Amino acid sequence: MDSLKFLLVILDGVGDRPIPDYGGKTPLEAAFTPHLDALARDGSCGLVDVVEPGMPVGSDIAHLLLFGYDYNRDYPGRGPLEALGIGLAMGQDDIAFRGNFANIDQNMIIIDRRAGRNIPEAKEYIKVINDAIKSLDLGVDVTFKHSTEQRVACLIHGPSLSPRVSSTNPNKNFVPVEECRPLDGSGEARATASIINAITRKIYEVLKDHPLNKSRKERGVPQVNCILFHGPGVMKKIVSLHLKHGIKVAGVTGNGVIRGLCRYLGIDVIPCPGATGTINTNLDAKMDAVEEGLKDHDLVFLHIKATDSSGHDKKPEQKKLFLEDIDRIVGGRILRDIDHSCTTVVITGDHSTPCVVGDHSGDPVPFLMHGPAVIADDVEQFGERACASGYFARFSSRPLMNIILNKLDKLKKFGA
């Protein structure tokens, strides 16, 4: 037998609520998932509350908790994770923001807070913006970089900065861009807020009549003339998973923030160009990367994003069909290609994103564990309802890393 291995599959936002069109079944329950069901049948199941029952949570924080870290002590903010995820090197005192390309009118009213999401000219816009910011006399270095779709990261390097400032993104259309405000009385917070406000004005000024936007206008797609800022943060000193537990961990993801989180936790990100974080992601390429990772890592983490996006977009049928793709490719290859004599597999989610809500909810997520040291229960289907009667019953995700380390026989016993 080879050494013990673990595969942790997180289906982002997989949990859902009853869909009337499916006779009250959730998208996962309505989906045809013979492979996932076979894994459930031979494994043990449960329902997981990632924070606590009823509490909705963001994907970044959910993953931080799933890997056994403490939110208050260890969460650096969305900005630093996005920056790390797209390869921006952050120094000790740098502040990172996450940003969204947006379309605003001359009164700073938001027309489309994502500028249509599809922005092929993103890199050109970034260049224009980076050049324009240099002409401002801000006393700090500012770098923008594109992530995916409308998403960008912004890194500010300089003395006397603070992440204690407010977001400029009201998260809805037809309201004004919010002013960035200091969240405490420090000079650092005031300085940082006024830098963000100056940048916001400069971006509108340089883009409002830019040829890139003329071209988009002609094509009838929203112009890009604003960046909305949120998620400011600085890096925190944390202990990597490797140092903490003596295990080598690899990650496969198409999502910038989750890739950033991997780098933050010392998880080796396995390159996978086909991984896009959308429903068109190349799941076969991701499973290739997983199998590559399992060769020389104890734990491989596979993250799949578009279950969540389908929930946000209120598209149950898209979520159901994507879950059937996941079943066929990921479930099928786990059943066929993974060495079950030494590999334990967990498939679960980071939170629920019910299609009827269009956002994260506090409903628990289904959980299945399959492997050589797993006691099979009577659950015969991977779904919200069926998993509730499994061996794990309903449990908090807090001890998940210990559950993983236990199956890897990597925990020292507490006491003698």
Q: Supply the minimum distance, in Å, between the C-beta of residue 147 and a copy of itself.
A: 14
| Chosen residue from 34, 58, 266, 274 binding a copy of itself by CB under 8 A | 58
Of 240 and 341, CB closest to a copy of itself: 341
271 CB neighbour count, 10 Å cutoff:
8
DSSP string, 155-202: EEE-SS--S-B--S--SSSSSBPPPP-BSSS-HHHHHHHHHHHHHHHH
Decide if 78 contacts 64 (C-beta within 8 A).
no
Residue from 44, 100, 255, 348 in contact with a copy of itself (CB under 8 A) = 44
Q: Which of 47, 102, 165, 283 binds a copy of itself (CB under 8 A)?
A: 47
For 71-99, letters b (16+ CB in 10 Å) and e give: eeebbbbbbbbbbbbbebebeeebbbbbb
Question: What one-character DSSP code corresponds to residue 373?
Answer: T
Of 41, 136, 328, 395, the one binding a copy of itself by CB under 8 A? 395
Specify the residue, 180 or 405, whose C-beta has the smaller distance to a copy of itself: 405
Largest distance between two CA atoms of the chain: 74
Q: Using CB under 8 A, which of the segments 127-135, 218-226, 329-337, 408-416 binds a copy of itself?
A: 408-416
Q: With binding defined as CB under 8 A, does residue 388 bind a copy of itself? A: yes
The contacts of residue 110 (CB under 8 Å, 6+ apart) are 102, 103, 104, 170, 172, 173, 174, 175, 176, 177, 226, 228
Residue 172 as a binder of a copy of itself (CB under 8 A): the answer is: no
Q: What are phi and psi of 115, to 5 degrees?
A: 50, 40
Between 213 and 253, whose beta carbon lies closer to a copy of itself?
253
Min. distance of Cβ 369 from a copy of itself in angstroms? 11
Does residue number 404 form part of the binding site for a copy of itself (CB under 8 A)? Answer: yes
Least separation in angstroms between CB 402 and a copy of itself: 3
CA-to-CA distance for 380 and 384, rounded, in angstroms? 12
- Measured on CA atoms in the order 112, 114, 116, 121, is the torsion positive or negative? positive
**59-98 positions binding a copy of itself, by CB under 8 A:** 59-62, 71, 75, 78
CB of 401 to a copy of itself, least distance (A): 8
Give the residue with the Cβ less far from a copy of itself, 116 or 362. Answer: 362
Is 215 strand, coil or helix? helix
380: its two tokens = 């015969």
Q: Does 321 bind a copy of itself (CB under 8 A)?
A: no
Residues near a copy of itself (CB under 8 A) are 17-18, 24, 26, 44, 46-47, 49, 51-62, 71, 75, 78, 230-231, 354, 356-357, 359-363, 372-378, 384-385, 388-395, 398-406, 409, 411-416
